[in-house]
Amino acid sequence: MNADNIVVAAGAPAAAELRRVLGHFATGVAVIAAHDGTRPLGFTCQSVVSVSLDPPFVSFCPAKTSSSWPLLREQGSLCINILAEEQSALCRQFAVSGADKFAGVAWERAGNGAPALAGALAHIEVSVELEHDAGDHTVVLARVGDLRATEGGKPLLFYRGGFGGFTA
Ligand SMILES: Cc1cc2nc3c(=O)[nH]c(=O)nc-3n(C[C@H](O)[C@H](O)[C@H](O)COP(=O)(O)O)c2cc1C
């Protein structure tokens, strides 16, 4: 299916209802970051999904209103920072458009040059492979390069508009 085939059926659910019901799908939260050579860039993103092991692909969906995504995609090399349970303040900070998102944030350049945030549960270095138009969002497929995780750490979860932790 291409973008031309996407139609909104008569009687499609209202945006508020979509958000309410789909909010029942709990997710982790990530900060997707890149460096333009002068400054670090990034935005909070919950739509990260593991897609393929061979070749290794992940996907995520930036909103077309995102002012960061056009700058990130220009770089192509990104770091997906999977946030830890205690990083909800960081999550909110990276969700505010136009703010100095990296103020007070500890980070270093990952192997591919993109910002790896200190304290993140996992760092996934990716390169943008393709983008697909998807209504008010874009579906991005990205190829995974180096990656590492902090074993024993706990994830930040997002569920029905609120943050929480994970208990097995
Ligand atoms: C928990 C959470 C999850 C989010 N997930 C997404 C997402 O999957 N895609 C997206 O485009 N924006 C998502 N956002 C909103 C963006 O973070 C926000 O619109 C963006 O940071 C705005 O800044 P920008 O203009 O610099 O892109 C999320 C926000 C929060 C708090």
Per residue in 14-25, pLDDT (tens digit) is 999 999 999 999
Phi, psi of 36 (to 5 degrees): -90, 10
Return d(Cα 1, Cα 101) in angstroms, integer: 36
SS (H, E, C) 106-164: CEEECCCCCEEECCCCEEEEEEEEEEEEECCEEEEEEEEEEEEECCCCCECEEECCEEE
Ligand 1 atom at minimal distance to the Cα of residue 69: 27
Domain limits for position 100: 26-159
Per residue in 105-158, pLDDT (tens digit) is 999 999 999 999 999 999 999 999 999 999 999 999 999 999 999 999 999 999
Ligand 1: distance of its center to the CA of 64 in Å?
11
pLDDT, residue 11, reads: 78
pLDDT, residue 99, reads: 87
The structural domain count of the chain equals: 1
pLDDT, residue 1, reads: 47
Mean pLDDT, the chain, integer: 94
pTM of the model: 0.94
Return d(Cα 153, Cα 67) in angstroms, integer: 31
Residue 20 lies in a domain: no
pLDDT surpassing 90 at residue 101:
yes
Nearest CA to ligand 1 atom 4: 45
Residue 124 lies in a domain: yes
48-53 average pLDDT score: 98
Residue 14 lies in a domain: no
Ligand 1: distance of its center to the CA of 96 in Å?
8
Residue 72 lies in a domain: yes
Pocket of ligand 1 (CB under 6 A): 29, 43-47, 61-63, 66-69, 91, 94-95, 97, 158
Residue 148 lies in a domain: yes
pLDDT, residue 62, reads: 98
Q: Within its chain, how far is the Cα of 52 from the centroid?
A: 17
Nearest CA to ligand 1 atom 18: 95
Residue 92's CATH number: 2.30.110.10
Residue 17 lies in a domain: no
What torsion, rounded to 10 degrees, do the Cα atoms 19, 22, 24, 30 define?
A: -90
pLDDT, residue 6, reads: 60
Question: Comparing 55 with 10, which gets the higher pLDDT?
Answer: 55
Give percent of the chain above pLDDT 70: 94
Residue 90 lies in a domain: yes
Residue 131 lies in a domain: yes
